[in-house]
Amino acid sequence: MLTIIVIAKECIPGRVKTRLTPDLTAGQAAAVAAASLADTLEVVRTLPADRRVLAFDGNPDNAPSEARGFEIVPQSSGGLDDRLAALFDEATGPTLLVGMDTPQLTHEDLAPVVAWAAAHTAPASWQTRLAHPVTGDAATESIDAWFGFATDGGFWALALSNPTGSLIRGVGMSQDDTGAQQLRRLHDAHLRVGMLPELTDVDTVDDAVEVAITAPTSRFARVFATAQLHQLHQPQAQLLPQQLPQQRVTQPARAARAARRLVSMV
């Protein structure tokens, strides 16, 4: 029916969410990343799928407990485009790839992909049709790919009915036009593309505040808010204003209000 792949890094301090520092410590940033991954895995784990895969860049023994029931596979070598391409080269049938940086992800965000995959693999007998009804319309069934832009210009989701890495390999990654490049690649291959909601990818503290307020009951929101409050209560080093991180000088009140608001919501 559907293969869902989550691509993720092991959440080691100093290796993940480095743009959240110095507002957070490296350890706090890693905890926020781990919470984001856990929220993502929990959503994927409850979606109807034949296969759930965690493509993990790290020690598989350190994969999060929320990955129970997932196949844990190592990422290939090379740039991000090569690693994503390799995952699609090895997949068969409708395949959805999501990242670990959108903890606000919901079932509703992915409902079109689930219905589309079910329509592509609808059971033949009337008995199984009754047990597994397909609700997608003809327009949905005719779609070849699904795509979700991230607000930073990248993308958070890509689904292909006939997965092949050639549709991804060579796309410039981690650029403000990565999403546009990838969508153009799909259109150049004459694929019919359905669009998923645009989501904010968590890279910066401002991103994290926005996402935590969007998903206040998430593990991500709880961990991030706790880290923010902890940092706000730490004594400032005795530095001149021009030596302090700019956000701490210009936006301390906003950061404090945001952190306290988050804590009150979780």
pLDDT in tens, 137-147: 545 668 999 99
Domain boundary among 152, 171, 195: 195
pLDDT in tens, 148-190: 999 999 999 999 999 999 999 999 999 999 999 999 999 999 9
Task: Specify if 200 maps to a domain.
Answer: no
pLDDT of residue 264: 59
pLDDT of residue 1: 80
Centre a 10 Å sphere on the Cβ of residue 256 and count the other Cβ atoms it contains.
Answer: 14
Residue matched to tokens 């350190």: 62
Task: Specify if 214 maps to a domain.
Answer: yes
For residue 257, name the pLDDT band (cuts at 50, 70, 90).
low
Do the beta carbons of residue 86 and residue 76 sit within 8 Å? yes
Do both 171 and 222 map to the same domain? no
Do both 11 and 69 map to the same domain? yes
Task: Specify if 142 maps to a domain.
Answer: yes
Do both 179 and 84 map to the same domain? yes
> CATH code at 92?
3.90.550.10
Q: Exposed, middle or buried: residue 162 (CB in 10 Å: 0-12, 13-18, 19+)?
A: middle
pLDDT of residue 211: 97
Do both 134 and 240 map to the same domain? no
Task: Specify if 92 maps to a domain.
Answer: yes
Indicate if the pLDDT at residue 120 is higher than 80.
no
Count: domains in the chain: 2
Q: Which domain holds residue 161?
A: 3-195
Do both 190 and 209 map to the same domain? no
Centre a 10 Å sphere on the Cβ of residue 235 and count the other Cβ atoms it contains.
Answer: 5
